[in-house]
A and B are shown apart, each in its own frame.
Chain A
Amino acid sequence: MNDLNTGELGGAVALKASDKPVADAKIQVKNLDFFYGKQRALKDVTVDFDANVITAIIGPSGCGKSTLLRTINRIYSLYPAQFATGEILLDGENILAKSCDVGALRARVGMVFQKATPFVLSIFENVAFALRHYERLPRSEQADRVEKALRQAALWDEVKDKLGQSALALSGGQQQRLCIARTLAVSPEVLLLDEPTSALDPISTAKVEELLSQLQTHYKVIIVTHNLQQAARVAKQVVFMFEGEMIESGSHEQIFVRPREQKTSDYVTGRFG
């Protein structure tokens, strides 16, 4: 087991606990280390994220799942003491390279957080703000793009008659779908969601999960969740992290019916964590 993540034998060993690499991986993480100052939070992580399926990253508190997510759109770059080494290839291009345009990256890779983060603006302006940041569009086209994003987020029918109202007046579930719409407005390729339904009631959770199922055909969706039933319901690929290491990556059937690693089995069956 120790050989899995020392990297002594290179990538072939690090992939030992994974399914065979998928030919069309959207994102390939290779030998990724991440540091919060001197503290090493990710240890030689190597994993492929399959295209056009939802991938769930699971693991106990402090395992590094949110840290891994935050490397994929380099949001950690906002904080000087945080840095990453290794490679993350998005369609073959290393996004950790110094030459990478981080602003453009964050249009391609959108993020939604556990707590909904609507701006203190109207519903319309919340979505239009993101558009205006990246594109110069005539007002009519802006309106069309806002409508399209709200429809994609399955929110249009609920808000079409009150686009001018404050986003803060929406329910928690609606605010979260508004945040998803805001992300979708700039036509990303990847959606990162960090425990997006932890603060929502079961019905809102179901609506967001249904939305994600529809979005996966057009976007690469990666969701961090501590809700194992949610991971089993929505994700086709599951990655299990523990103490900063990638322990096992595989199909949801493999992870939840016949996991290969004892630690994975212990975690999903509720024997620790």
Chain B
Amino acid sequence: MEHTVTAYDVELEALTSELSRLGGLAEAQLRDCVGAIGGRDEALAEAVIARDGMLDGLDMEIERSAIRLIALRQPVADDLRRTIAAMRISTNLERCGDLAKNIAKRTLVITESTSVMPPTSSIERMGELVTERLRDVLDAVASRNVQAALDVWHGDKEIDEQYDAIFRELMTYMIADGRMITACAHLLFVAKNLERIGDHATNIAEIFHYEVTGEPMPDERPKSDSLVGDRSQTHR
């Protein structure tokens, strides 16, 4: 049912529309920075860096629109949750953009250096998985599908496991050939950034769940981080 005051609906729809645009931009940034690694594509990496300002601007615009809505409409119930969710999802998408820019910068550094390049297929696969997760959660938000968002939330463990595997793989390359250390060090950060983008996709799923149901996620977020190790074992 629509609001009695139609301008209220117009403002809420505008907020959702801006958020969709930001989601599309973040997805494009992620796809392109991963593509730049695989293709050693400097032009694509530079395009990602140049485009980051657009995401920052859109995030600020969303915050301004949400604050205005809160001040002038005093939203309650699902309108309130929708407005707050839009602000929080926007922040997460802007961070995804920053991380994608960072990946693109490191890609430029590696491509321009004389360091020997290790295989990057594992990182590219992780990048594709993270891209798919981000796309899935944004689709879930657009189609108001809470179950699809829950599926993304449960899938964070797989991203963490891939990160662990890449960490160990890069360590072996560094040990085997010292000429790869520089490139591998940068790729460690790239893998970490991808893992962080995966976390942001999970955050978005949690925020969306709260927006629709008014309740936080019922369970602990599934985590798999074997790099730190099981401290109960080391202290035996």
Contacts and interface: CB of A to CB of B under 8 A. Distances in A.
Interface in B74-99: 74-81
Contact of A271 (B1, B74, B214, B215): B1
Interface stretch (A11-19, A115-123, A200-208, A251-259): A251-259
Contact of B214 (A228, A257, A273): A257
Given A257-B214, A258-B81, A258-B214, A268 B4 contact: no
State the main secondary structure of chain B at its contact with A.
loop
Given A258-B81, A258-B214, A272 B76 contact: no
The CB with the most chain B CB atoms within 10 A, among A229, A232, A268, is that of A268
B214 A266 contact: no
| Chain B interface size, under 10 / 10 to 19 / 20 to 34 / 35 or more | 10 to 19
Given A257-B214, A271-B1, A229 B74 contact: yes
Contacts of A229: 74
B80 A271 contact: no
Interface string B44-77: 0000000000000000000000000000001111
B3 A258 contact: no
A258 B77 contact: yes
| Chain A interface size, under 10 / 10 to 19 / 20 to 34 / 35 or more | 10 to 19
Contacts of A138: none
B8 interface: yes
B76 A232 contact: yes
B2 interface: yes
Nearest to A262: B1
B76 A268 contact: yes
Contact of B78 (A228, A232, A255, A269): A269
Interface of A: 228-229, 232, 255-259, 264-266, 268-273
6 contacts: A232-B76, A257-B214, A268-B76, A269-B75, A269-B76, A271-B1
